[in-house]
Amino acid sequence: MKKVPFSYDKLKNIVSEFPTPFYIYDEKAIRENVKNLKKAFSWNNCYHEYFAIKSNPNPYILKIFKEEGCGVDCSSKVELMLAHKCGFSDKDIMFTSNVTTSEEYALAKKLGAIINLDDTAHINFLNNCTGIPETICCRLNLGEDIMYEDKVTINFKNSKFGSTKEQIYDAFRKLQKLGVKHFGIHAQFGCHKRDANYFGDNSHKVFQYVVDLYRNTGIRVDFINLAGGIGIPFLPENSPADIEAISSCIKKAYDETIVKAGLNPISLFTELGIYMTGPYGYFVSSVLHVKKTYKSFIGLDASTNSFMSPARYNNYYHVSVMGKENKECNHVYDITGALCEDRDRFAIDRPLPYIEEGNILVFHDAGAYTYSHSYNFNGKLRAAELLLCTDGTVKMIRRAETADDYFATLIF
């Protein structure tokens, strides 16, 4: 059974001060998760987590990660600006972009960020923009299918990300001549995975490539960035990822490749997003109307423009009808918003307790890739964001949009 970090009475008090819809994040749980992650990877002395800003770009959330000793992963100029405003600088910023502009490279260099080249052909472009930094990373495209449960999860030859193994060989030789002293390899091999062996097997491929790179170029990398990919259990019956087991499998792969080749120590980095905040965010909305035609529809005071993941990814997001958590789920509903779009549904044919107008619904696992995906179709406005602080108090960390915000960028 999925639980929320507040009682129904507590939530009613929150709603009386901050009207629905809104997101609310559990600060205490996020901090505990960071500590558990760092403990699991403590075998690697220089392990560093770079929280993926794109998953939850709120300054209050970013400051939590800064206080817990993490860095941030940025993908654009605005994300770099946000990182800088939150106090991140130098090697605590990983800049992993693609189709990158000169302005983005210039700002990344100015902030001292680690630049991760998606395309090795950008070396001359970067050099002309701002010069080559002493530390640089290249994103590896493994050039093969990544399998999971007999299915292809990534077809690297069809992916727009990364450079080939041979391209990186040549790039590292060129970068070394241009004055680079510290090298890194970045590799992404999946998303929403919780199986420890999956991460062990695919880390082994990346580590072995680092060994091959050394044997082909004589260049020893200083760090390996395994990016993200650790998922969360959306279904109530699923188990969460065992971070200790995942780390253990990665260590085994590291020992069999890096250590065996005499290249130890190499720092390991990650760029986790949904694993870090996903389970610790909740989307809260109130029932505005109940409609019965050929089906029973629950119309919320929010639409999927504010919380689009159920419509975009077709993921199951668990729903708690607050005050009725222990009631029998003996009714079937489609939960919808007000968009002029028939896919505007948070859940379809979902068994739930009897729902009435005014009931408060809480969607679980809404802490990542949710607000950051929201948009303004139909002139609908984005929801507010709240933080459930470690002391139990609640504060607004982003107000809801207004019509003035919507019109602010129009020259009319």
| Spatial separation of the C-alpha atoms in residues 191 and 369, rounded to whole Å | 13
Strand partners, 254: none
Residue 159: per-residue pLDDT:
79
Structural domain boundaries in the chain: 8-24+279-407, 27-277
Tokens of 55: 């998953």
Residue 151: per-residue pLDDT:
75
Contact by Cβ (8 Å): 79, 95: no
User: For 401, what's the count of Cα atoms within 13 Å in the CB-facing half-sphere?
Assistant: 18
Residue 338: per-residue pLDDT:
95
Tokens of 38: 């760092």
Helix (H) or strand (E) holding 394: strand 394-398
The CATH class of the 8-24+279-407 domain is mainly beta
Residues 302, 306, 312, 317: is their CA dihedral positive or negative? Answer: negative
Residue 124: per-residue pLDDT:
96
Residue 189: per-residue pLDDT:
82
Cα 387 from chain centre:
18
Tokens of 364: 């679980």
Residue 221: per-residue pLDDT:
98
What pLDDT tens digit does each residue of the chain (412 aa) get?
Answer: 799 999 999 999 999 999 999 999 999 999 999 999 999 999 999 999 999 999 999 999 999 999 999 999 999 999 999 999 999 999 999 999 999 999 999 999 999 999 999 999 999 999 999 999 999 999 999 877 776 677 767 777 777 888 999 999 999 999 999 999 999 999 988 778 899 999 999 999 999 999 999 999 999 999 999 999 899 999 999 999 999 999 999 999 999 999 999 999 999 999 999 999 999 999 999 999 999 999 999 999 999 999 988 777 767 999 999 999 999 999 999 999 999 999 999 999 999 999 999 999 999 999 999 999 999 999 999 999 999 999 999 999 999 999 999 999 998 8
Q: How far is CA 16 from CA 10, 224, 360, 383, in A?
A: 10, 48, 12, 16
Residue 82: per-residue pLDDT:
98
Residue 217: per-residue pLDDT:
96
Contact by Cβ (8 Å): 59, 86: yes
pLDDT (tens digit, 9 = 90+) per residue, 230-243?
A: 999 999 999 999 99
Pairing, β 145-148 against β 151-155: antiparallel
Residue 210: per-residue pLDDT:
98
Residue 143: per-residue pLDDT:
78
Cα 329 from chain centre:
32
Cα 341 from chain centre:
27
Examine residue 236 and say whether the peptide bond preceding it is cis (omega within 30 degrees of 0).
Answer: no
Contact by Cβ (8 Å): 11, 285: no
pLDDT (tens digit, 9 = 90+) per residue, 19-61?
A: 999 999 999 999 999 999 999 999 999 999 999 999 999 999 9
Domain at 27-277: CATH code? 3.20.20.10
Tokens of 393: 């108090």
| Spatial separation of the C-alpha atoms in residues 112 and 89, rounded to whole Å | 6
Contact by Cβ (8 Å): 310, 304: yes
Residue 310: per-residue pLDDT:
78
Contact by Cβ (8 Å): 335, 345: yes
Residue 183 in 3-state DSSP? strand
Residue 264 — left, alpha, or beta (φ > 0 → left; ψ -120 to 50 → alpha)?
beta
